[in-house]
Chain A
Amino acid sequence: MPAFETFLQSIVNGLVLGSFYALIALGYTMIFGVIKLLNFAHGDVYMIGAFVGFGVLSLISGVVGAGWFGLAIAILVSMVAVGCLGVIIQRVAYQPMLSAPRLSILITALAVSLVLQNSALSLTDGKYTAFRTDLGFGGFELGRLFISHQAIVLVAIAALLMIALEFFVSRTMYGRAMRAVSIDKDMCRLMGINVTRVVAITFLIGSGLAAAAGTMAGAYYGSIWYFMGFLIGLKAFTAAVIGGIGSITGAMLGGLILGLLESFGTQISWIGSEWKDVFTFAILILVLVFKPTGLLGKSEVERM
């Protein structure tokens, strides 16, 4: 039954794609939660994460090889380094803008995105960089269905990171503070919560997750380039909105749903791969028109 196998293969592809979307969407949603900023530079943070991971892997591959162990170190180092970069970006570019008109901070975020993109562009001459690993091409075969080891491990790492985040947000002191800040910043300040530190931690974690996704995507697809963050950043944002922006579970759910929808979308003959991205944005618009708060978002009264 080839149709059934195509169906299963689509689920596998959708899960891998969806894990990447979900990891990036988490950063969008967390940052939006605490400072109500659409961080347009987030996709580029993901791209920088891929390049840092690549750099680390090239440095250490002589010692520990470019297998799973090397990749794990690369992911960890990239997460920490890019997490710190996220905090620096927040301090330098967003913190001074918090009392400015909302559009200005959005433009600042776009400017940061341009800075990151053009830094990577001038360092790499705009060429694709091959991201080589020794992971091989092994995997399971179930009938004609093929699941690579990479796909399994990447989805597992993504799931692990998301579970860790969920634990952090729901159980720890800082997680609780983060949720409180997202509800009422001024009240938190009055109650003695160090809001600045909570915002910094949010950027640290959000950017770190994007860096992990970037490094993993580099290893999975085999090449990285300076513009890789743009479209995936938009898609991750779409995922965050589908799930309900500001909701962490929503971001994960939205990422998986979007990954699966896209994966199935390419199988439908009248959509095809050419129209894949149109399909994504059409879904986004439909969700927003009929359910503006997303699947798990709360309705909110807002005044500009």
Chain B
Amino acid sequence: MISTAKLAAAGVVDRLYATFDSPRRQMWLMVAIVVVMALLPLVMGRYTTTIMTNALLYVVLALGLNIVVGYAGLLDLGYAAFFAVGAYSVGILTVQFDWNFWLAIPPALLAACMAGVIIGGPTLRLRSDYLAIVTLGFGEIVRFSARNLEITGRASGLSNIPEPSFFGYVIDSYVDFYYVFLLLAVMAVVASHRLYHSRLGRAWLYVRHDEDAAEAMGINRVRVKLAAYVTGSVFGAIGGIFFSVNLGAISPESFSFEQSVLILMAVILGGMGKIPGVILGAFIIILGPELLRELGELRLLLFAVIMLLIMLLRPSGIWPERRN
């Protein structure tokens, strides 16, 4: 029964995607989407705008994880740790040391790069499953540390993170932050696209397909894998930096394993390695449970069941990369 449904679904869906597979059409589609999204706050209420802001944050995070998982084929179950490093770096510098927000960004990015190297370095030799579990352990270590250290405000976290101002204009309303995240998401899409078609992007592809052959072709796999971790962690940290000033407060529970799982699900549901797919996945992950909100307690259950069905019907994700 499932296989018939699977074939029918795949037929219709594939034809639909084939229409949008040409790069030029995709570009115009993207431009159209961005224009529509830029106009949305004019008609959306506060509630919807806030949710859309969250979805855009997830686009940034999912595109970052996509570099690690989708491009380089390294399974990371602790991605929320990088998100946390960005958020806490800015939180600590602005709250505990009274730094200016913009000045705090470079050290936060540096911290994220270091975190990428710390987790990437010792784990590069590991098999995929072990890699998954080590990254998971690393994510938990970061969260437990945030919960137990004095400087991170222990379990209650950091609050009163000051709003950033931009040449005198204070970014504080929910509409302001919607546009900030829209800008970040567009930048993340452009960066992902450029990376994918760069020399490094091709190296990631080779390493994902066959590590040994890539090595034989003269690709330094240690450097290439580390580059994937570091790039991914920078995306995550940027998401975290703006997340912390948007909410004005952060606590360890925002960076749980569940968070890492949700971001990973966005990547895989949408279609690993495929930028439009990952964006779609991020929106499904955030908007799905919201659309089901009327169901109350059961909504997450139903959402999980739907996700299971999507995986069973389209194991490579909703909008997968074409095989070549």
Q: Does more than half of chain A's interface fall in helix, strand or loop, or is it mixed? A: helix
Binds A, one of B16-24, B102-110, B302-310: B302-310
Instruction: Flag whether A161 is at the interface (Cβ < 8 A).
Output: no
Inter-chain CA distance A282–B118, complex, in Å, is 13
**Interchain CB contact under 8 A, B141 and A282:** yes
Inter-chain CA distance A288–B128, complex, in Å, is 12
Known: A115-B301, A122-B298. A97 touches B311 (CB 8 A): yes
Mask for A179-207, Cβ within 8 A of B = 1, else 0? 00000000000000000000000000000
**Interchain CB contact under 8 A, B272 and A284:** no
Binds A, one of B46-54, B185-193, B257-265: B257-265
Give the contact-size bracket for chain B: 35 or more
Inter-chain CA distance A111–B123, complex, in Å, is 26
**Interchain CB contact under 8 A, B144 and A122:** no
**Interchain CB contact under 8 A, A38 and B132:** yes
Partner of B125, one of A108, A115, A278, A292: A292
Partner of B122, one of A102, A103, A289, A304: A289
- B134: chain A residues at CB < 8 Å are 284-285, 288-289
> B225: shortest Cβ distance to chain A, in Å?
13
Name the CB-closest residue of A to B301. A118
**Interchain CB contact under 8 A, B133 and A103:** no
Instruction: Flag whether B316 is at the interface (Cβ < 8 A).
Output: yes
**Interchain CB contact under 8 A, A275 and B128:** no
Mask for B210-225, Cβ within 8 A of A = 1, else 0? 1110000000000000
Binds B, one of A54-62, A66-74, A230-238, A249-257: A230-238
> B122: shortest Cβ distance to chain A, in Å?
5
**Interchain CB contact under 8 A, A101 and B308:** no
Which residues of A (273-304) have their CB < 8 Å from a CB of B? Answer: 274-275, 277-278, 281-282, 284-285, 288-289, 292, 300, 302-304
Known: A103-B75, A284-B137, A292-B126. A115 touches B315 (CB 8 A): no
Mask for B42-75, Cβ within 8 A of A = 1, else 0? 0000000000000000000000000001000101
Instruction: Flag whether B268 is at the interface (Cβ < 8 A).
Output: yes
> A48: shortest Cβ distance to chain B, in Å?
14
The total of chain A residues at the interface (CB under 8 A) is 46
Partner of A100, one of B269, B297, B316: B316
Inter-chain CA distance A112–B297, complex, in Å, is 17
**Interchain CB contact under 8 A, B312 and A38:** no
- A121: chain B residues at CB < 8 Å are 297, 300-301
Name the CB-closest residue of B to A230. B257
Instruction: Flag whether B129 is at the interface (Cβ < 8 A).
Output: yes
- A302: chain B residues at CB < 8 Å are 127-128
Interface residues of B (CB under 8 A from A): 2, 69, 73, 75, 122-123, 125-130, 132-134, 136-138, 140-141, 144-145, 147-148, 208, 210-212, 257, 261, 264-265, 268-269, 272, 297-298, 300-301, 303-305, 307-308, 311-312, 315-317
Q: 19 A-B contacts, Cβ less than 8 Å apart?
A: A96-B312, A101-B316, A103-B69, A104-B311, A106-B132, A107-B311, A110-B261, A111-B265, A115-B308, A122-B301, A234-B140, A245-B129, A274-B147, A277-B144, A282-B141, A284-B133, A284-B137, A288-B133, A289-B134
Interface residues of A (CB under 8 A from B): 32, 36, 38, 93, 96-97, 100-108, 110-112, 114-115, 118-119, 121-122, 125, 230, 234, 237-238, 241, 245, 274-275, 277-278, 281-282, 284-285, 288-289, 292, 300, 302-304
